Amino acid sequence: MQRISMDPAVKFFISSIGLIAIFLVLKELQHIFIPFVLAYFLFFIFQPLNTLITRKRIPYGIAVIADLLIVILFVWGLSRVIIVSFERFSESIPSYEAKLNNIISNSANSFGITDPVIAEFNLLSYLNETLDIGGLAGGFFSSTLSFVSTVFFVLFFFIFISGGHNKIINAFKSRFSDDEEDEKNGESFDRTIKNIPEKIQHYLVTKSLISLLTALSVGIVLWLFDIDFLVVWVVLTFLLNFIPNIGSVLAVIFPTLIALVQYESFGYALLVGGIITGVQNIYGSLLEPKIMGDRLGINPLIILLSLLLWGYIWGLVGMFLSVPITAVIKILVSESNSPNLKFVNGLMG
């Protein structure tokens, strides 16, 4: 039977249309896929702990309950930090408002601007006139409700993934190792399934350690300069470091702005921002590539493109998940014998 060959250009455009369709589905159904993907990453994170617990002859169900308690405690602790910080910030608004008004007035005078509107500028009055406080409160309430529902669905999916993951893997193993001809495929599948959680665990452990060291170092700097809301900036630095490139920039901007308003000095704020930037570069540009590059082997340009793509599809959550998702895709692509996928693997590496 004669085999009909397809023009490579046609294959390329068909594949591109298929990828676009997949990304559109992921974007439209993000309320389903985001909790599911987060739950699967949680499963990979807790897999070593669960294996250790089951080796002690403790029922697997107890291990899953322990995982859920750890996640709930972490979310509760993080929420408490955010709530307490907002309460402290709301109490400090009048003093920050006065300082910010002074900065604007002094800056205007230094540039020779004598407009009375700027000279008598009042931030709080301006915000009351321009912002819809009711709309902001409603948006905050809906965001909080969305966060709670997302956490609920993540935990819900996590329970079912913990019980059904091994059955799915066994089904795929039996499919790829039915006879001797498929034995190599079965071995390749086993290797792929083993590499995915290992890569994710290595990434998360290494990234968490580097982010923790960065956050503690930044915290020491801010403590020495007596910057307000120290705990907030330490937690924010730790979390934002999981977002490649952009996260570390935001982790510098926020405490620098607070330093500017707190001390009403551009020089002082630039000094604080410069030192924090130096700390970020030491860990992010020197230490992290030496450790992370060997473990993931992903091209930095691909990481940046992945950040933009998943940020567009899933927003802030997509930015956090961009590197782990890219690592999973690279593992799957690297195990393929297709020349095209080998080419893609070369580009990603």
Number of domains the chain contains: 2
Tokens linked to 122: 């009042």
Q: Is 132 a member of any domain?
A: yes
Quick check: is 340 in a domain?
Answer: yes
Residues 97 and 202 in one domain: no
**Together in a domain, 121 and 66:** yes
- Both 291 and 159 in one domain: the answer is no
Cα 119 to Cα 1, 96, 99, 103, 110: the distances in Å are 85, 17, 13, 10, 11
Q: Provide the sign of the torsion angle of the four alpha carbons 3, 7, 8, 12, taken in this order.
A: negative
Output the CA torsion 165→171→173→176 (10° steps). -140
Quick one: 244 and 342 in the same domain?
yes
pLDDT tens digit string along 99-130? 776 776 666 666 666 555 555 555 555 555 55
Q: Same domain for 154 and 196?
A: no
Residue where a domain stops, chosen among 125, 148, 163: 163
Same domain membership, residue 216 and residue 129: no
Instruction: Flag whether 178 is in a domain.
Output: no
Q: Under a CB-based contact definition with an 8 Å cutoff, are residues 121 and 104 in contact?
A: yes
pLDDT of residue 137: 46
Q: What is the pLDDT, as a whole number, of residue 8?
A: 66
Among 148, 163, 178, give the residue marking a domain's end.
163
Which domain range does residue 200 map to? Answer: 187-349
3-state secondary structure labels for all residues of the chain? CCCCCCCHHHHHHHHHHHHHHHHHHHHHCHHHHHHHHHHHHHHHHHHHHHHHHHHCCCCHHHHHHHHHHHHHHHHHHHHHHHHHHHHHHHHHHHHHHHHHHHHHHHHHHHCCCCCHHHHCCCHHHHHHHHCCHHHHHHHHHHHHHHHHHHHHHHHHHHHHHHHHHHHHHHHHHHHHCCCHHHHHHHHHHHHHHHHHHHHHHHHHHHHHHHHHHHHHHHHHHHHHCCCCCHHHHHHHHHHHCCCCCHHHHHHHHHHHHHHHHHHCCHHHHHHHHHHHHHHHHHHHHHHHHHHHHHHHCCCHHHHHHHHHHHHHHHHHHHHHHHHHHHHHHHHHHHCCCCHHHHHHHHHHC
pLDDT the model gives residue 190: 66
Q: Is residue 19 part of a domain?
A: no
40 and 157 together in one domain: yes
Asked if residue 292 is part of any domain, the answer here is yes
Q: How many CA atoms lie within 13 A of 331 on its CB side?
A: 21
User: In terms of pTM, does the model score above 0.75?
Assistant: no
Specify if 1 maps to a domain.
no
In a domain? residue 173: no
Q: Where is the domain boundary, 128, 163, 198?
A: 163
Rounded Cα gap, residues 212 and 18, in angstroms = 40
- 192 and 142 co-located in one domain: no
- CA-to-CA distance for 313 and 65, rounded, in angstroms? 32
Task: Give dist(CA 125, CA 116) in Å, integer.
Answer: 15
Low-confidence ranges of the chain (pLDDT < 70): 1-9, 97, 101, 104-145, 172-173, 175-194, 289-297, 335-338, 349
Looking at the structure, tell me whether residues 211 and 342 fall in a common domain: yes
Q: Which amino acid is at 99?
A: K
Query: In 3D, which of 241, 231, 232, 236 has the Cα closest to residue 209?
Result: 241
Tell me what pLDDT residue 88 has.
Answer: 76
Domain identity same for 139 and 194: no
Judge if 130 and 218 occupy the same domain.
Answer: no
d(CA 78, CA 80): 5
Burial class (CB in 10 A: 0-12, 13-18, 19+), 322: buried
Residues 236 and 133 in one domain: no
Cα gap 104→124, rounded to integer Å = 13
Asked if residue 229 belongs to a domain, the reply is yes
CA distance 208 to 190: 27
